Amino acid sequence: MPELPEVETILRGISPAFTNQKIVDVIIRAQRLRWPIPKNLKQKLLDQVVTNISRRGRYLLLETRAGTVIIHLGMSGKLQVLPKDHLLTKHEHLNIVFENSRALCYIDPRRFGAILWTEGNPLQYPLLANLGLEPFDPNFNGEYLLTQARNRKICIKQFIMNNSVVTGVGNIYANEALFRSKIYPFVPAKAISKKQFQTLAINIQKILKQAIENSGTTLRDYATSEGKSGAFQKLLQVYGRNGKPCQRCKTILQQQRIGQRSTVFCPRCQTPIV
DNA sequence: AAAAGGACCTGGTGGC
DNA sequence: TGCCACCAGGTCCTTT
């Protein structure tokens, strides 16, 4: 479900609703997620004030004086801001209820997401410690990608989807960024030129920025914290457009699988010749 | 160290 | 209508 723009949109929705608010209840509905929700989460969070909410890669971090709640939305996870007495929806696994009578509600049908707790530096938590650069980090550029790609024979699409290289680029935006950069998705990362990497880095930033401005891409599950759809699906140029004409050259777009993920590209614009 | 593939889940869709 | 195969915004873990 959520790539960086979707998580960022959710962050911008929940941050004003809950920052500096005190937690008055925590309801765990005994669902196993990717890992179990810590049983003592309520005990840890009760009466704590959320001092800051931030994002690292696709993880959201709710900080308190006692520790930090780490949230990942997996493929189908949603976070909604709802009145504390809202009607319970299916697959609602966790509610964090605040003094302002609103609740942060975690809903996740597939349960690939995670709710974790750490009392140390969350950025050093094992799942976060090895993340690569944020795409909007000033050091994220063509040169960085070129260095990272040295001797890597993995194809370029999987390379930019690797969170230890750059965080937050998932299947949709990888497809889109490669199309806009005119790069054939199957090229080995080490075969990409410096100039191509510079173009790619810029396009990754552009597309993520544009997607954030449009509140993300809604295909199925994804909704903002207010329950609204994103709008970026209207601006997708290749993802979900297999068999349709390329918007640049009218050639029919093709779909193949790379690492079990659908990959759509224009066989004419995205030439295999490097 | 890097790459490939399976595993974790539910729900929607399209074919027969 | 029912059953089945396959697909979906992710990523960890095991094996090669």
Predicted confidence (pLDDT) per residue in A136-176, tens digit? 999 999 999 999 999 999 999 999 999 999 999 999 999 99
Residue A228 and residue A13 in contact, taking contact as beta carbons nearer than 8 Å = no
Give the per-residue pLDDT at A1: 67
For residue A273, what pLDDT band results from cuts at 50, 70 and 90? low
Q: Which nucleotides of C are covered by protein (CB under 7 A)?
A: 7-12
CB-hemisphere CA count at 13 Å for A29? 14
Q: Is A6 a catalytic residue?
A: no
Q: Which two tokens stand for residue A117?
A: 């707790």
Q: What is the pLDDT of residue A217?
A: 97
pLDDT score, position A271? 86
3-state SS of A159-219 is HHCCCCCECCCCHHHHHHHHHHCCCCCCCEHHHCCHHHHHHHHHHHHHHHHHHHHCCCCCC
The catalytic position among A3, A6, A92, A176 is A3
- Å between A240 CA and C8 C1'? 11
Q: Is the pLDDT of residue A259 over 90?
A: yes
**What pLDDT does A88 receive?**
94
CA of A258: nearest nucleotide by C1' is B4
Q: Beta A68-72 vs A59-63: how paired, if at all? A: antiparallel
Nearest CA to A192 out of A162, A135, A152 is that of: A152
In this prediction the pTM is 0.97
Distances from the Cα of A147 to the Cαs of A1, A19, A122, A192, A203, in angstroms?
30, 39, 27, 11, 18
Per the structure, the residue whose CA is closest to nucleotide B3 at C1' is A154
| A225 close to A79: Cβ distance less than 8 angstroms | yes
Over residues A41-69, the pLDDT tens digits come to 999 999 999 999 999 999 999 999 999 99
Take residue A90 and report the two structure tokens written for it: 């299916």
Contact present, A107 and A32 (Cβ < 8 Å):
no
Neighbour count for residue A244 (Cβ, 10 Å): 13
A274 has pLDDT over 80: no
Residue A112 approaches strand B within 7 Å at CB: yes
Active site residue A3: yes
The pairing of strands A261-265 and A254-258 is antiparallel
pLDDT digits (tens, 9 = 90+) for A125-139: 999 999 999 999 999
Give the position of tokens 């994220």: A140
Is the Cβ–Cβ distance between A207 and A175 less than 8 Å?
A: no
Note the pLDDT tens digit of each residue in A75-109.
999 999 999 999 999 999 999 999 999 999 999 99
Q: What average pLDDT does the segment A66-75 reach?
A: 98
Mean pLDDT value of segment A198-218: 98
**pLDDT reading at A265 higher than 80:** yes
